[in-house]
Chains A and B, each alone.
Chain A
Amino acid sequence: MTPSLTQILLSGAAVAMLATPVLADKASDTLNVAFSLEPEPLDTYKIAGREGLILARHVYDGLLYKDMDSGTFKGLLAESWSQPDPLTLEFKLRRDVTFHNGAAFTADDVVDTLNTVIKPDYGTRYAISVDWIARVEKVDDYTVRIHMAKPFAGAFEMLAGSLPIYPHAYFDAVGSAGMAKAPVGTGPYRLVSQEPGVKYVLERWDGISPESPKAGAQIKTIVVRTMPELNTQYAELMSGKLDWMWRIPPDQADRLASRVQIVSAPIMRISFLNLAPVAASGDTPLKDLRVRQAVAHAIDRDAITRAFAGGASEVLKAFCNPAQFGCTDAVTQYAYDPDKAKALLAEAGYKDGLSLPMTFAAMPRPVAEAIAADLAKVGITVQLDELQYAAGVSKWRERQAPAFFSNWGSYGVGDVAFLLSNFFGGGADDLVQDAELSGWLHEADTATDPELRKADYAKALSRIADEAWVVPMYSFNVNYGLSKDLSFRPYPDEFARFWQSSWK
């Protein structure tokens, strides 16, 4: 008797099933995590993507730790700190900290790491994270001083996450590439194996100082895999092979909600439409304030946010995320009012409408199309041009994209300093070049008095709103998909903290 095709398939499948490895989950105390994007090599100073930074924060510690609930800073590798003068920060270090390779943590590690990564030839990815440090000095084995190159209000934010400390002897021996290949830190998890860009296995580091704000990790093993296709992740999440995934589109989140846990959390990233009053060609209707105001009045931001963002997203009332320090909505508001938009256009001499090229990057096409449709209703004919982010932002900087629809994540930092100065601080992304406005921002970015900073940012945000240089759209949210056994708390900075996770 010859076996039928079904019999052959079934026997093949049975063999395959026997050889399939046992799945890890709550029973084996293993958290299975999926990222769509490949994490970069784990030298924090050279990472741009959130995936690599999340892993790095589990392996490495910085001097400080930001408590997101209270918004205050706690000591992580530092025990206490002081500011002897406006340009000096002094840190007393913890004495009970050990690196994953057994080396004791001392001031030499801080001095060596920071003095290395501030050198331009080291290639630290974001200049903003280190360019405020002039040099770091060892006072004694457990005391260091950071001498600042300039006053910088974001210094503590940077010390709490962006500036991890590496073991100096190992770092000197292996350099950045060696650090990425076999990371050694003081964090709550140590990396036990990695296939770069594919799979990372982290194990709880039981040698962590009990005083560390990151101490007390519950889950023993974390396995992180790169799975580019979201649909494959859904399949694995539903079949119990995955415990954690993120960035689920709103429509998919609704469908998955009955099968797994879906948690929606607001994040720092915001979307907005930049309106440049200047153009490389020399002339643009956007140089007229009334046209910019008309654009702002013509877009139904509530409807667009509800339809396309959903979840925990909010319509923005100013060019900032309400979760950020310095953000205020006490600025000129542009309600959805097509009639007013038409009147403003008529007043500006565009009674018969006008034509406006709009570039968009890193934003969904349907949202850009919805904006174009709203603008068409008041007589503004939009030519949409979708570009990769790099191409779009280059076009903006070259003044060839008068209307540029994109987003900005403020490096996940809850402070408008990391948003406003990029677009209005006088740099390459600032097409307005308003000296008074950039002066306020400079003062706010470098001052230590919170009230003075708030006042300066409020003036800046008012000016930006009055001039309608930006149409703020909405804050982003992230949908997380979790297995039913997992207890996970998301934060607006988009940094997953698995050391706080546990099984239900």
Chain B
Amino acid sequence: MKGLPSFKHGVHPPENKDITSGIASKRFPFPKEVILPLSQHIGTPAKALVKAGDHVERGDVIAEAAGFISSTVHATAAGTVKSIELWPHPNGLMVPSIRITVDQSSSQMRRNRMVPRWQDVKDEDLSKEIAKAGIVGLGGAAFPSHVKLCPPEDQPVELLIINGSECEPYLTSDHRVMLEQPEMVYEGIRIELKALGITRCVIGIENNKPDAIEMMRKTRPADLDAKIQPLTVKYPQGAEKMLIKAVMGREVPSGALPSAIGAMVQNVATAANVAAVFQTGHPLIERIMTVSGRGIRRPGNWKIPFGTKLRDVIEHCGGMTDDTVEILFGGPMMGQAISDLDVPVLKGTGGILVLTKDECKRQDILPCIRCGKCLEACPIFLNPQWMKDLAKAERFEELVEEAHLNDCMLCGCCSFICPSNIPLSQYFAMSKTQLRRLPKS
């Protein structure tokens, strides 16, 4: 593994990817009901366009983007709108959501649409088409893709980096995308390159997926300037700024966007879905999700329509074992703990992990022994032990100005490495929430 590019610091948690990495993705059956929150992405919630009783076809627009940093929501199954009501969201809050009773007799065909050939669309209009399809970043943060494709004018992008590193343990959905739809990924890359008006692209893949690297190499079109870059297996290799450091050897300045150093990062699954928009006209209504962990009886990779309730997913995957203690959306390092089985899976849900007692041991929190391991683990060179003290004392001004809390992406390396089991990143998540709540002074 030596010699492969990477970033400094970071950790290497047990990968646990072998549970699902060899299982081909399958279509998930349509559930009886889908729940589509108006906020499945970062930014302003969308505005509902339907009302109770309306009939919708699969792929119809049911809520439109409200503002630039927002995203369109589409019906993920044909059926009747039951109501728009408050419903549990993966983030633990109740948010307005559209409930659709799925028509069981429907063939779930998508309406035929007129799709422009992407080659004929003007460069600057491509991002509008992508916005219409409700595409958001599928790496986990669900940031609207069309916003990313419109970098600030004074910061032109010169290199597109496609993120196939998938550094979170357990998750294999991006791995499956690269194995099963490499030509879609390349098509998506072409479209994104055209939207950005550039020609160069690098695909970063962690070295623990040799079959994906091989597949991408084999299917690479000869006329595309795409380099496949194997990367050191290390967490958080897939974090935007870490990936840029590994691929370009440059560091994104604190508080700046990647476009500040001429780079843009897109996930492989996002690229594949961008291609699907222009091939079929289908908006983003389903994605490959990994259902894994030792608590699920039938793990696998499934193409699940958004809005399917967690309860239905678990049921279809054989149910939970008796020693299941925790369910996460996303990976074990950054995923969201889920407290309600009625929560729907959303655009940002890359995986559903059902973990047993053995997999998430609860350990006592002991005092900090100042060993400095968290400093050596932090990929952005912060000082977590100091930040924890500041967060505990609620000294927010110092925390932001001097300790640079805003650069922390809550990757969890510090919590993972801490021999005293101090939940460092929870302190930082808590401080970030509080800073959002407090009136700005």
The answer to whether A and B belong to the same complex is no
